[in-house]
Amino acid sequence: MADSSVDVVEGCRLPVLRKNQENEDEWPLAEILSVKEIPGRKLYYVHYIDFNKRLDEWVTPDRLDMKKLQFPKKEAKTPTKNGLPGSRPSSPESEVVRVVGAVSHYYSVGNGTARRPMPNQPGRKRKQPPNCGGTDEDSQDSSDGIPSTPRMTGSLVSDRSHDDIVTRMKNIDCIELGRHRLKPWYFSPYPQELTTLPILYLCEFCLKYLKSLKCLQRHLTKCNLRHPPGNEIYRKGTISFFEIDGRKNKTYSQNLCLLAKCFLDHKTLYYDTDPFLFYVMTEYDAKGFHIVGYFSKEKESTEDYNVACILTLPPYQRRGYGKLLIEFSYELSKVEGKTGTPEKPLSDLGLLSYRSYWSQTILEILMDLKPDNGERPQITINDISEITSVKKEDVISTLQYLNLINYYKGQYILTLSEDIVEGHERAMQKRHLRIDSKCLHFTPKDWSKRGKW
């Protein structure tokens, strides 16, 4: 085993043992992203192919199925069209290559430089949309050779060309935040010296990062915050929303972003927080207003985005808070008199949450429509959009997703099937947390008139 493990390098693919949700063993194919040696043994950072990155983890060699090891394809074999070898991601062979002797063929040992680019090249390949995988351009990268800086609007990265092995790997083991210990899902640019700590401590209220419990204790003697440092614009029951200006309260905004980045793959922290507002949802108890989740929002969006990043912290997930955040974001849009849509790309969880919210919101409207003096109730997509502040495209996609749109006798109709209706009613019964627009104290500001953000 020991000798074979020597051969396992970054870029290799092989089945790796993991437990599924039913606690069963499975051996999904995984890619070795990194190898590190700790006293006594080696650890491999693996990414399970077709699994979300958040499940990537360090594994011990005994979880690797060395028999099915496949090496990264030799670089020279895939000359790029633009004649720049190395810029073209090399992709592993799709079939299993199990012959160890093939190393020289598939893996250019002698290539001293290969080691460095190798690991991230598969990653880059992976980042590219499948349909343009064969093309050589790094999507939107300008071709002048100067590494372009990301666009300055928005908060999410759709262009992953700068993604490298560093950001592909989680760098924080564990974050302690108030009562919770969180396992980060993704990379976050906390100060590098803190990434080696077993636990990163965060002040629950100001989100300052501290290296030890002692420091946190000391910090808490000085930090008297018991709620996010912004204006409370909504409170109903124990749920409150605080609005924080990314320009006026940089420290908190940055701390919040660092934390959020741990759970948002596409979030970028490349630029400062100035053009954003942060809406932090908290739950009150005797200790204070505990952060549950948040969403950020561009002060001025050129693309009708009403949400930039949105996150329910893991301890609060799957309890309806996400939907509450989404609902709140649309309430703000309603006050602004605009329709909005979340910034793209959506994450898997984001897509599910939004779809769920859209579905419930639209179905709520459709089912509430009463026949109008004997006529069949009818509604336009624009009407739905206006009522809900959900952007028209999202309404259509939801109607499609729910399979409500049908073409019948020369016109489009909306059909509500039994199971849709039942499913909706069941879901709504479980949806206790709702935003009460009467509790919202929010005046939209015209940021365009306020100078730069």
Partner 1 sequence: MSKLSFRARALDAAKPLPIYRNKDLPDLNDCVSINRAVPQMPTGMEKEEESEHHLQRAISAQSVFREKKENMVIPVPEAESNITYYDRLYKGELRIPKQLFHIQPLGLDNEQPDYDMDSEDEILLNRLNRKMEIKPIQFETMVDRLEKASTNQMVTITEAKLLLNEDDYLLKAVYDYWVRKRKNCRGPSLIPLIKLEKRDGSTNNDAYVAFRRRTEKMQTRKNRKNDEASYEKMLKLRREFSRTVTILEMIKRREKSKRELLHLTLEVVEKRYQMGDFTGEVLSEVTAPLAEKPVYTVPITVTNGNRHNHKAEIKIKSGGLPYHGYHHVSVKDEDPFDFVRPKKKYTRREPLCRPGRPAKRQHIVNKADIKQYDFHSSGEEDYPLSPSSEPDEENDPDGTFAFRRKAGCHYLAPCLDQTSGLLWDHPELAGLDALRHRQSLTALSVPQRCVGLARRRVGRGGRVLLDRASSDLDGVLKQLDSGVFSSSFPKGLSDHQVPTQNHRTMPGSASSLTDLLSNIQALRWRFFRPRSTQGDDSGEGRTGRPSMDNRLSGGLFVHTKNSGSGGITEEQYQVHQQALAQMQKQQLAQLQLKTAGSTDCIISKTLDSAGAHFAASAVISAPGQVNNENKPDNTSVNGVVQPLVESLPPHSTSTSQGGTGLDRSGRTPSSGGPLLPASHSTTPQSLPNHRGHGSAVSPAHHHHNARPSPSSLKLATMATSSLDRVPKVTPAISSMARDNHEPERLALNGISETTVPMEVT
Closer of 108 and 171 to partner 1 (Cβ): 171
Residues 351-370 binding partner 1 (CB under 8 A) are 351-352, 366, 369
List the beta bridge partners of residue 9: none
Closer CB to partner 1, residue 248 or residue 450?
Answer: 248
Task: Choose the binding region for partner 1 from 71-79, 81-89, 112-120, 136-144 (rule: CB under 8 A).
Answer: 136-144
Question: Of 7 and 283, which CB lies nearer to partner 1 in the complex structure?
Answer: 283
β-strand pairing of 209-210 with 200-202: antiparallel
| CB 434, min distance to partner 1, A | 19
Rounded to a whole number of angstroms, the minimum distance from the CB of residue 215 to partner 1 is: 4
Nearer to partner 1 by Cβ, of 346 and 387: the residue is: 346
- Considering only residues 57 to 86 of the shown chain, the ones binding partner 1 according to CB under 8 A are none
Residues 386-415 that bind partner 1 (CB under 8 A): 392-394, 396-397, 400, 403, 405-408, 411-415
Rounded to whole angstroms, the Cα distance separating 58 from 53 reads: 12
Find the binding residues for partner 1 in span 157-186 (CB under 8 A). 158, 162, 164, 166-167, 176, 178-185
Asked if 138 touches partner 1 (CB under 8 A), the answer is no
User: Please, is 141 exposed, middle or buried when counting C-beta atoms within 10 Å of its C-beta (0-12, 13-18, 19+)?
Assistant: middle
Map residue 80 onto helix, strand or coil: coil
Query: Closest distance between partner 1 and the C-beta of residue 397, in Å?
Result: 3
Q: Shortest Cβ distance from residue 350 to partner 1 (Å)? A: 8
Nearest to 12 by CA among 113, 106, 126: 106
Residue from the set 6, 37, 134, 302 that interacts with partner 1 by CB under 8 A: 302
Q: Quick one: 66 or 395, whose CB is closer to partner 1?
A: 395
Among 51, 87, 91, 283, binds partner 1 (CB under 8 A): 51
433 touches partner 1 by CB under 8 A: no
Q: Which residue has the tokens 């004649």?
A: 83
**Separation of alpha carbons 93 and 332, rounded Å:** 50
Question: Does residue 149 touch partner 1 according to CB under 8 A?
Answer: yes
The beta strand positions in 22-174, using DSSP E, are 25-26, 29-38, 41-48, 57-59
Is 344 a binding residue for partner 1 by CB under 8 A? The answer is yes
Which of 51-59, 71-79, 100-108, 321-329 is the region at the interface with partner 1 (rule: CB under 8 A)?
A: 51-59
Of 100 and 416, which has the nearer Cβ to partner 1? 416
Per-residue b/e over 35-58, b at no fewer than 16 CB within 10 Å?
beeeeeebebbbbbeeeebbebbb
The minimum distance between CB 3 and partner 1, in angstroms, equals: 33
367 Cβ neighbours under 8 A, 6+ residues apart: 416, 421, 424
Specify whether 327 is catalytic: no
Which residues, numbered 236-295, are part of the site for partner 1 (CB under 8 A)? 240, 242, 244-245, 248-252, 254, 257-258, 266, 269-275, 284, 286-289
Distance CA 176, CA 210 (A): 10
Among 360, 361, 385, 389, binds partner 1 (CB under 8 A): 385
Is residue 448 classed as helix, strand or coil in its secondary structure? helix
| Size of site (CB under 8 A) for partner 1 | 148
Residue 151 as a binder of partner 1 (CB under 8 A): the answer is: yes
Output phi, psi for 245, to 5 deg. -90, 120
Q: Which of 359, 311, 306, 353 is nearest to 333 (CA)?
A: 306
Residue 41 sits in the site that holds partner 1 (CB under 8 A): no
Residue 10 near residue 35 (C-beta atoms within 8 A): yes
Q: Helix crossing, 392-401 with 381-388: angle to 10°?
A: 110
- Tell me how far, at minimum, the Cβ of 162 lies from partner 1, in Å: 6
Active-site option among 137, 176, 343, 425: 343
Q: Which of 44, 45, 107, 190 binds partner 1 (CB under 8 A)?
A: 190
115 binds partner 1 (CB under 8 A): no
Q: List the one residue from 113, 135, 417, 448 that touches partner 1 (CB under 8 A).
A: 417
SS (H, E, C) 277-339: EEEEEEEEECCEEEEEEEEEEECCCCCCEEECCEEECHHHCCCCHHHHHHHHHHHHHHHHCCC
Q: Which pairs from 125-132 meet CB under 8 Å and 24+ separation?
A: 125/89, 125/90, 125/91, 126/89, 127/160, 127/161, 127/163, 128/89
Quote the least distance from Cβ 19 to partner 1, whole Å: 10
Active site residues: 343
